[in-house]
């Protein structure tokens, strides 16, 4: 096949443009990325060779070789890993294959939109890493010669990173890949052995196979630059914090600092090593519907898969790292991993370990822990309805915003602050804590000093009903059913309430009857409210009906087409309701202002809920009419 020219996928072109023009100061990370790819390629071949040993017959031991050619001004990264065939080349070095790079592009777009953050792209390269393409920070051209293990044809990929690349047939001894970086004039420092040595030590020491700087055949001998043993097999005392961090970057494709690190070796009936990390920032794909685990499974140092859901429960999917088992058979297929009893035992132990360590942090480092909870709490809460076995432990970790305290509280805190006579844990759900805290439905709670949890994660709509109660106290929605707060001892607002009781409240039964008639099917019922103190009206869900916020979520996801009619509660203590009640006592059937008021109050309650009006035009007409009447009367 002769030489063919391809265009980069549009996103890649955009990415390359950013990379080539970025002022990112740590350009050296390109070498980390190329070595990381070379190491992945060896891992992949090692795994394939388990079932197809012919692939590596006669091959040299796995190794990554760096070769600096001062005359040609090239730095070459060579591996004897799996290599790529023609299709692999076109697909992986022309598109954005990796999700991390995708995330980078999205974050870029967001940063670009934000005019204040001109330097956004520079920081983002470091934050996300852009894989292979990062080499174009220092390269005016890259040539990749590669041959897939088992194939006899090799291929040459060439690009200057400006929109196009070519692929043609080539020759190469054995399987593997050479990435030849033709350095830009200003980037010749990457030919210096000293510089290369430092970079490899800094970023790639944890790589489990030798990274060798090739000698020049005269004065310089071949030199292995890294420790060349898998980091998790080393003694903890021999591993520096930086080593741990760089391995985290490599294994997770995330470039923040890990918040928590758990490195454990277990020996006995079952032997394995685990090195787990909890990131300090939220990975972009946390809420991906597949909810895939991100741990990598090794057996006796051989990489098996990064797609093993058996290692941790789904609600720990933000945990990154590796598990290396000594007992699983090396020839285990990815399919055999399902329901494997050995993996089940490892999962149990890892889960326990994570709970212990997280609980320690929650106790001893509340502030850090709060950040962790902001990042991953919504995921952990999935466990409350999925995993009965660990519900208690999850509740201990769970933190909530509430009307009763700044910051985050645990349920134990909440219960400790409950009022005398209060027998339920009250909550309200919504999108934004600040906003829901202002809901009219909470007025009565505030007046009595009763605390309400502000639940703003979509998952809250699911665990609360399935859990039902905590330590014998039922969870009760502040926006559903009747709330009876009369049993609660009213310590804070006692006097105020007593004085209010003395003022006459008119009989509102006729008004309620009149409103019901006027609103018809638009509401399920009209009732006098226990909840309201300041607002004239609010909407609540009837006992047993869907809570208002949940219904909105379901509608957004097209799981629900019809809205349930709500109960409109009216506040007898409100002056407007008082006036209307008087009018309803005396007015005849012709008094249309009461009908208009009913409609307007309902629409007003909907607006407060953040809902859109069914008929905005009718609303504004009624509004104008009532205002006009009001002016005439005044």
Exposed/middle/buried for residue 589 (C-beta within 10 Å: 0-12, 13-18, 19+): exposed
Return the residue of 81, 131, 210, 383 that touches Mg ion, per CB under 5 A.
Answer: 131
Instruction: Check residue 131 for interaction with ligand ADP (CB under 6 A).
Output: yes
Residue 470 phi/psi, 5-degree rounding, is: -140, 125
Return the residue of 41, 295, 450, 541 that touches ligand ADP, per CB under 6 A.
Answer: 41
Chain length of the chain: 634
The torsion angle over the Cα atoms of residues 492, 485, 500 and 436, rounded to 10 degrees, is 80
Min separation Cβ 131 and ligand ADP, Å: 2
Q: Taking CB within 5 to 8 Å according to partner kind, which of ligand ADP, Mg ion, none is near residue 349?
A: none
Strands 272-279 and 566-570: unpaired
301-307 CB contacts, 8 Å cutoff, 24+ apart: 301/208, 301/230, 301/233, 302/43, 302/46, 302/47, 302/50, 302/330, 303/43, 303/44, 303/46, 303/47, 304/47, 304/332, 304/334, 304/337, 305/47, 305/334, 305/337, 307/334
Min separation Cβ 100 and Mg ion, Å: 8
Report the C-alpha gap between 112 and 333 in whole angstroms: 45
Instruction: Check residue 33 for interaction with ligand ADP (CB under 6 A).
Output: yes
Return the residue of 97, 170, 359, 585 that touches ligand ADP, per CB under 6 A.
Answer: 97
Interacting stretch for Mg ion, rule CB under 5 A, among 30-38, 334-342, 425-433, 564-572? 30-38
CB-nearer residue toward ligand ADP: 155 or 190: 155
Interacting stretch for ligand ADP, rule CB under 6 A, among 95-103, 227-235, 371-379, 419-427? 95-103
Q: Which residues is 541 bridged to in the sheet?
A: 480
Return the residue of 8, 47, 132, 470 that touches ligand ADP, per CB under 6 A.
Answer: 132
At a CB cut-off of 8 Å and minimum separation 6, what does 87 contact?
none
What is the gyration radius of the CA atoms in the chain, in angstroms?
33
Interacting stretch for Mg ion, rule CB under 5 A, among 131-139, 140-148, 447-455, 588-596? 131-139
Report residue 584 as tokens. Answer: 């309803």
∠ Cα 177 181 182 (to 5°): 140
Instruction: Check residue 79 for interaction with ligand ADP (CB under 6 A).
Output: yes
Interacting stretch for ligand ADP, rule CB under 6 A, among 74-82, 135-143, 161-169, 549-557? 74-82
Instruction: Check residue 81 for interaction with ligand ADP (CB under 6 A).
Output: yes
Q: Taking CB within 5 to 8 Å according to partner kind, which of ligand ADP, Mg ion, none is near residue 38?
A: ligand ADP
Return the residue of 22, 37, 252, 375 that touches Mg ion, per CB under 5 A.
Answer: 37
CB-nearer residue toward ligand ADP: 181 or 526: 181
CB-nearer residue toward ligand ADP: 131 or 510: 131
Return the residue of 93, 135, 322, 453 that touches ligand ADP, per CB under 6 A.
Answer: 93
CB-nearer residue toward ligand ADP: 95 or 229: 95
Report the C-alpha gap between 500 and 515 in whole angstroms: 25
Strands 400-402 and 424-429: unpaired
Report the C-alpha gap between 379 and 315 in whole angstroms: 5
Number of residues counted as binding Mg ion (CB under 5 A):
3
Interacting stretch for ligand ADP, rule CB under 6 A, among 30-38, 271-279, 423-431, 454-462? 30-38
Instruction: Check residue 281 for interaction with ligand ADP (CB under 6 A).
Output: no
Report residue 492 as tokens. Answer: 């804070």
430 DSSP 8-state letter? -
SS3 507: coil
Return the residue of 15, 19, 35, 38 that touches ligand ADP, per CB under 6 A.
Answer: 38
Return the residue of 22, 37, 76, 403 that touches ligand ADP, per CB under 6 A.
Answer: 37
Nearest CA among 184, 162, 203, 218 for reference residue 74 = 184
Interacting stretch for Mg ion, rule CB under 5 A, among 37-45, 113-121, 470-478, 604-612? 37-45
Min separation Cβ 276 and ligand ADP, Å: 20
Q: Taking CB within 5 to 8 Å according to partner kind, which of ligand ADP, Mg ion, none is near residue 533?
A: none
Instruction: Check residue 84 for interaction with ligand ADP (CB under 6 A).
Output: yes
Instruction: Check residue 39 for interaction with Mg ion (CB under 5 A).
Output: no
Give the residue nearest to Mg ion (CB): 131
Report residue 408 as tokens. Answer: 């985050």
Q: Taking CB within 5 to 8 Å according to partner kind, which of ligand ADP, Mg ion, none is near residue 97?
A: ligand ADP
Interacting stretch for ligand ADP, rule CB under 6 A, among 16-24, 76-84, 225-233, 556-564? 76-84
Report the C-alpha gap between 125 and 29 in whole angstroms: 10
Starting from the edge strand earliest in sequence, which strands make up the sheet with 566-570, in order?
523-528, 566-570, 537-540
Give the residue nearest to ligand ADP (CB): 131
Report residue 546 as tokens. Answer: 């869907």
CB-nearer residue toward ligand ADP: 30 or 515: 30
Number of residues counted as binding ligand ADP (CB under 6 A):
19
CB-nearer residue toward ligand ADP: 129 or 510: 129
Report the C-alpha gap between 142 and 456 in whole angstroms: 49
Residue 543 phi/psi, 5-degree rounding, is: -50, 130
Exposed/middle/buried for residue 211 (C-beta within 10 Å: 0-12, 13-18, 19+): buried
Site residues, ligand ADP (CB under 6 A): 33, 37-38, 40-41, 79, 81-84, 92-93, 97-98, 100, 131-132, 177, 253
Site residues, Mg ion (CB under 5 A): 36-37, 131
């Amino acid at each position: 096949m002769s030489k063919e020219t391809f265009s980069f996928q549009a996103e890649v072109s955009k990415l390359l443009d950013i990379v080539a023009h970025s002022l990112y100061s740590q350009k050296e990370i390109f070498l980390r990325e190329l070595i990381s790819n070379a190491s992945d390629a060896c891992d992949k071949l090692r795994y394939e060779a388990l079932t197809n040993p012919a692939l590596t017959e006669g091959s040299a031991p796995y190794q990554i070789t760096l070769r600096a050619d001062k005359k040609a001004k090239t730095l070459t990264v060579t591996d004897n890993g799996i290599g790529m065939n023609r299709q692999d080349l076109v697909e992986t070095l022309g598109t954005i294959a990796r999700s991390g790079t995708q995330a980078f592009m999205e974050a870029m777009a967001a940063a670009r939109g934000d005019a204040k953050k001109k330097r956004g792209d520079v920081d983002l390269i470091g934050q996300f890493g852009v894989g292979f393409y990062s080499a174009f920070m220092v390269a005016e051209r890259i040539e990749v010669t590669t041959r897939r293990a088992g194939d006899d044809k090799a291929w040459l990929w060439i690009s200057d990173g400006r929109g196009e690349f070519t692929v043609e047939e080539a020759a190469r001894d054995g399987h593997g890949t050479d990435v030849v970086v033709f350095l830009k004039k200003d980037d010749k420092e990457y030919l210096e052995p000293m510089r290369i040595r430092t970079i490899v030590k800094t970023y790639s020491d944890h790589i489990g196979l030798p990274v060798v700087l090739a000698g020049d055949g005269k004065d310089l001998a071949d030199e292995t630059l890294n420790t060349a043993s898998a980091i998790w097999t080393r003694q903890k005392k021999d591993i520096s914090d930086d080593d741990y961090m760089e391995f985290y970057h490599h294994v997770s494709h995330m470039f923040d600092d890990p918040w928590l690190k758990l490195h454990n070796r277990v020996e006995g009936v079952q032997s394995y090593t685990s090195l787990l990390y909890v990131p300090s920032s939220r990975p972009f794909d946390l809420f991906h519907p597949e909810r895939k685990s991100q741990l990598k499974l090794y057996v006796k140092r051989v990489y098996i898969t990064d797609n093993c859901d058996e290692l941790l429960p789904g609600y720990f999917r933000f945990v990154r790292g590796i598990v290396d088992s000594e007992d699983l058979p090396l020839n285990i297929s990815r399919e055999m991993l399902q329901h494997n009893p050995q993996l089940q035992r490892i999962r149990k132990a890892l889960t326990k370990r994570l709970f212990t360590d997280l609980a320690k942090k929650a106790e001893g480092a509340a502030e850090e822990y709060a950040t962790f909870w902001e990042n991953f709490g919504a995921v952990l809460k999935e466990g409350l309805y999925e995993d009965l076995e660990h519900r208690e432990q999850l509740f201990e970790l769970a933190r909530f915003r509430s009307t009763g305290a700044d910051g985050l509280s645990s349920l134990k805190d909440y219960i400790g602050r409950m009022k005398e006579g209060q027998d339920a844990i009250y909550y309200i759900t919504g999108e934004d804590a600040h906003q829901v805290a202002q809901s009219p439905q909470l007025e009565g709670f505030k007046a009595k000093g009763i605390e309400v949890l502000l639940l703003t994660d979509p998952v809250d709509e699911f665990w609360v009903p399935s859990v039902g109660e905590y330590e014998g106290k039922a969870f009760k929605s502040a926006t559903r059913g009747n709330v009876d707060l009369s049993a609660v001892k009213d310590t804070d607002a006692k006097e105020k309430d007593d004085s209010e009781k003395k003022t006459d409240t008119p009989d509102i039964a006729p008004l309620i009857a009149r409103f019901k008639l006027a609103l018809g099917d638009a509401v399920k019922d009209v009732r006098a409210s226990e909840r309201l103190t300041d607002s004239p009206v609010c909407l609540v869900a009837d006992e047993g009906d869907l809570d208002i916020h949940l219904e909105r979520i379901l509608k957004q996801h097209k799981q629900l087409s019809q809205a349930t009619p709500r109960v409109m509660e009216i506040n007898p203590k409100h002056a407007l309701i008082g006036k209307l009640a008087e009018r309803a006592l005396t007015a005849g059937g012709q008094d249309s202002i009461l009908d208009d008021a009913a409609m307007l109050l309902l629409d007003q309650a909907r607006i407060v809920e953040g809902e859109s009006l069914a008929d905005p035009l009718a609303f504004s007409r009624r509004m104008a009419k009532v205002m006009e009447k009001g002016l005439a009367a005044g």
